[in-house]
A and B are shown apart, each in its own frame.
Chain A
Amino acid sequence: DAGVTQSPTHLIKTRGQQVTLRCSPKSGHDTVSWYQQALGQGPQFIFQYYEEEERQRGNFPDRFSGHQFPNYSSELNVNALLLGDSALYLCASRPGLAGVTGELFFGEGSRLTVL
């Protein structure tokens, strides 16, 4: 089982550019969440996708958008990059079973640096 896979692992962008990060969930999982982890901080929830729809959203501006595909993989897009967007972006998946408040499986993350 490959677990949660993310790409790219590292990338460097300049202010004002746009970035797309990709995530494939763990086999059997259909719910994908994205988190931003700034250096020395805990992960902060960006949004969650289930059945190709955004189900919950954290306190992030509209510059952050996402998508989930029929195969459950997901993309995170960030437009008009700011220096403060530099962080580790973590994708996490879980099975979206009713009544389950279960384990989130995280990927290794995509390290974004904005110059």
Chain B
Amino acid sequence: GENVEQHPSTLSVQEGDSAVIKCTYSDSASNYFPWYKQELGKRPQLIIDIRSNVGEKKDQRIAVTLNKTAKHFSLHITETQPEDSAVYFCAASKGGGSTLGRLYFGRGTQLTVWP
């Protein structure tokens, strides 16, 4: 099955700096890569996703890049704010159709943004 590796496990940055989280996947058939943010005691919430036919996607301060050849994708957060502090999970899926693919999650990155 798919194996998703995520690094680093913890990341501390100063407010206003950028943060980068990296993930690799093993199954070249994976075609959908979402990122979830989970605040303490809360549900995971999708913050951005990318499909395999796109190399980069941006949404305000958040961007995701995908390198299909190397089988890795990254989350970039610019101008970090204290409210960005949370655990971030990457995931991969090879879904499609009515029986949609399961998500394989990384182990998570605890991001702390210091004021």
Contact = CB atoms under 8 A, between A and B. Distances in A.
Contacts of A107: 43
Given A45-B104, A56-B102, A99 B97 contact: yes
Given A40-B108, A101-B95, A103-B49, A45 B100 contact: no
A98 interface: yes
Per DSSP, are chain B's interface residues mostly helix, strand or loop, or mixed? loop
Interface string B74-115: 000000000000000101010111111111111110000000
Tier of interface size on chain B: 20 to 34
Contacts of B65: none
Contacts of B36: 106
Interface in A10-55: 31, 33, 35, 40-45, 48, 50, 55
A90 B100 CA distance: 17
A42 B106 CA distance: 6
Contacts of B6: 42
A58 interface: yes
Chain A residues touching B, range? 20 to 34
A2 interface: no
A48 B99 contact: yes
Contact of B98 (A58, A96, A109): A96
Given A41-B107, A45-B102, A58-B102, 5 more contacts: A41-B108, A42-B105, A43-B103, A97-B98, A108-B42
Interface of B: 1, 4, 6, 31-32, 34, 36, 42-46, 49, 51, 89, 91, 93, 95-108
